[in-house]
């Protein structure tokens, strides 16, 4: 696989190191001179100095081949949007993954059709919420390309789903319970699985039905 990584900060450098160890062909583009020199000394000629938002720099990196994947992981969300759009729309790159530094900018990525994004802030917030008992629904994973989400629901004693078989729960259209954690043991959910108070239930669903799912399971 050939990949272009735009941004030689900690994220981009570590991704590049990992891809190289896995035997993939990579070009890492870094704009800052000092960082470029450090990375070139470590990684060699696979590091290219330049601004990855500029077409001639991307072409020097080999985007016209095109690569199988472009990873836009700079510290600037606007740059990551531009790089991703150039890759997908300008050169037909099959997959472009963009880093979202500020979660407030996620809607801009969505509007422009950049659906494969990674946001460390949102991911860490989800982990924090997972440990806070007052959150009855926690978003675990957002599969933007597929239009699906994974969420976890904590079932209280008075929940409408408590004591019911999965087949008897009035789940909204576009939602499905897939697994649960009970007393530290995970299991796959089936139609005859009975939901108990204290269960942590994982569901896959389409965006926009979270509230209806919450009402059906936890109340």
Average pLDDT estimate for 39-48: 95
User: How much is the pLDDT for 2?
Assistant: 95
pLDDT (tens digit, 9 = 90+) per residue, 45-68?
A: 999 999 999 999 999 999 998 999
Query: How far apart are alpha carbons 192 and 108 in whole angstroms?
Result: 43
- Cis-peptide into 66, omega within 30 deg: yes
Residue 112 pLDDT grade (very low, low, confident, very high; cuts 50, 70, 90): confident
Taking each helix axis from N to C end, the angle separating 10-21 and 33-43, rounded to the nearest 10 degrees, works out to 20
**What is the pTM (predicted TM-score) of this model?**
0.62
Task: Map out the domains of the chain as residue ranges.
Answer: 2-118, 123-217
- 123-217 has which fold? Alpha-Beta Plaits (3.30.70)
Average pLDDT estimate for 100-106: 83
Selecting from 3.30.70.60, 3.40.50.720, 3.40.50.2300, 3.90.1640.10, what CATH number does the domain 2-118 have?
Answer: 3.40.50.720
Average pLDDT estimate for 76-99: 92
User: How much is the pLDDT for 134?
Assistant: 47
Burial class of 185 by CB neighbour count within 10 A (0 to 12, 13 to 18, 19+): exposed
DSSP string, the chain: -EEEEE--SHHHHHHHHHHHHTT-EEEEEE--HHHHHHHHHHH-TTEEES-TTSHHHHHHHTTTS--SEEEE--S-HHHHHHHHHIIIIIH--SEEEEE-SSGGGHHHHHHTT---EE-HHHHHHHHHHHT-TT-SEEEEEEETTTTEEEEEEE--TT-TTTT-BGGGS-PPTTEEEEEEEETTEEEE--TTPBP-TT-EEEEEE-TT-HHHHHHHHT-
pLDDT (tens digit, 9 = 90+) per residue, 122-171?
A: 555 555 555 554 456 777 776 666 678 888 888 889 999 999 999 999 99
Across 38-48, b (16+ Cβ under 10 Å) vs e yields: ebbeebeebbb
């Amino acid at each position: 696989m050939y990949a272009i990584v735009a941004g030689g900060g900690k994220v981009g450098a570590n991704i590049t190191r990992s891809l190289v160890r896995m035997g993939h062909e990579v070009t890492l583009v870094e704009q800052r001179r000092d960082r470029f020199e450090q990375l070139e000394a470590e990684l060699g000629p696979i590091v290219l100095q330049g601004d990855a938002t500029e077409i001639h720099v991307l072409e020097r990196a080999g985007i016209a081949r095109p690569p199988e994947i472009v990873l836009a992981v700079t510290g600037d969300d606007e740059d990551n949007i531009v790089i991703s759009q150039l890759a997908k729309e300008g050169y037909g790159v099959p997959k472009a993954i963009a880093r979202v530094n500020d979660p407030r900018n996620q809607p801009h990525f969505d509007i422009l059709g950049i659906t494969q994004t990674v946001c460390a802030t949102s991911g860490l917030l989800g982990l924090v919420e997972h440990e806070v008992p007052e959150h009855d629904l926690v978003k675990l994973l957002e599969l933007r390309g597929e239009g699906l989400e994974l969420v976890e629901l904590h079932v209280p004693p008075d929940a409408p789903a408590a004591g019911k078989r999965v087949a008897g729960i009035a789940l909204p259209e576009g939602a499905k319970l897939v697994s649960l954690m009970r007393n530290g043991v995970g299991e796959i959910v089936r139609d005859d699985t009975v939901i108990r108070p204290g269960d942590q239930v994982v569901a896959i669903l389409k965006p926009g039905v979270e509230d209806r799912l919450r009402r059906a399971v936890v109340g």
